């Protein structure tokens, strides 16, 4: 029996299409399955964003890439967040949106045992970092780029491995997660020369 090709419904044109390079751009994001959510035809219809500007992922408005309109985000190559300040404030202040997002997350959380385990592991590493039990390097231990790294549980999310992590930049973390999800083996080794910093807060 032949394997069926997975499909995806484009959120713009509402059309279901095969999840292949013919219809969707590739995207190094594990949660997206390796492809963009919007189909190629809809993506090509979007107006190009001028240099020095960014299209907000929330309101879709094109604004200058500056502190006047966007918060800093050192995990992004541009140094700025993907959503504008107005959208961030709107999501924080609107109680209806907060309630809806929390309800949707809790429903998913209680229905997914793997997600529960991942969240417990993340909470444990955050507590360890805040209390000083787990040191945090000032750069990625994979590519050695200076950044604010993220914790990658390379040994799994079991309780005995909650504090066993490799610190990676956002790009390396995304690429490695995508490689693991596609079935490829990735050998990770921590850099022994990594400079460590304590939590200032």
Structural domain boundaries in the chain:
1-46, 48-101, 112-197
Q: What is the pTM of this model?
A: 0.47
Burial (CB < 10 A; 0-12, 13-18, 19+), residue 137, is buried
According to CATH, the topology of domain 48-101 is Wheat Germ Agglutinin (Isolectin 2); domain 1 (3.30.60)
Rounded Cα distance between 162 and 54, Å, is 37
pLDDT of residue 1: 40
Under a CB-based contact definition with an 8 Å cutoff, are residues 36 and 25 in contact?
yes
Rounded Cα distance between 154 and 143, Å, is 16
User: Can you give the pLDDT of all 201 residues of the chain as single tens digits?
Assistant: 446 788 888 888 888 988 888 888 877 665 667 788 888 888 777 777 888 898 887 777 889 989 899 988 866 777 888 889 988 887 766 677 677 767 777 777 677 788 788 888 888 988 888 888 888 888 888 888 888 888 998 888 888 988 889 998 888 888 887 777 666 666 565 443 433 343 443
Rounded Cα distance between 88 and 98, Å, is 12
């Amino acid at each position: 029996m032949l394997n069926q090709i997975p499909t995806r419904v484009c959120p713009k044109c509402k059309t279901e299409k095969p999840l292949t390079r013919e219809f969707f751009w590739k995207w190094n994001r594990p949660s997206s399955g390796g492809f963009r959510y919007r189909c190629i035809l809809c993506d090509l219809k979007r107006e190009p964003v001028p240099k020095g500007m960014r299209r907000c992922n929330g309101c879709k408005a094109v604004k200058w890439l500056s502190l006047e309109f966007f918060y800093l985000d050192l995990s992004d190559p541009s140094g700025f967040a993907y959503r504008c300040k107005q959208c961030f404030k709107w999501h924080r202040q609107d109680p209806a949106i907060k309630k809806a997002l929390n309800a949707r997350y809790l429903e998913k959380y209680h229905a997914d045992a793997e997600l529960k385990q991942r969240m417990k592991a993340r909470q444990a590493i955050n507590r360890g970092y805040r209390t000083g039990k787990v040191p945090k390097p000032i750069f990625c231990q994979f590519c050695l780029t200076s950044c604010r790294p993220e914790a990658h549980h390379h040994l799994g999310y079991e309780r005995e491995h909650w504090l066993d992590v490799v610190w990676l930049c956002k790009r390396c973390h995304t690429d490695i997660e995508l490689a693991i999800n596609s079935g490829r083996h990735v050998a990770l080794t921590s850099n022994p020369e990594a400079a460590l910093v304590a939590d200032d807060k």
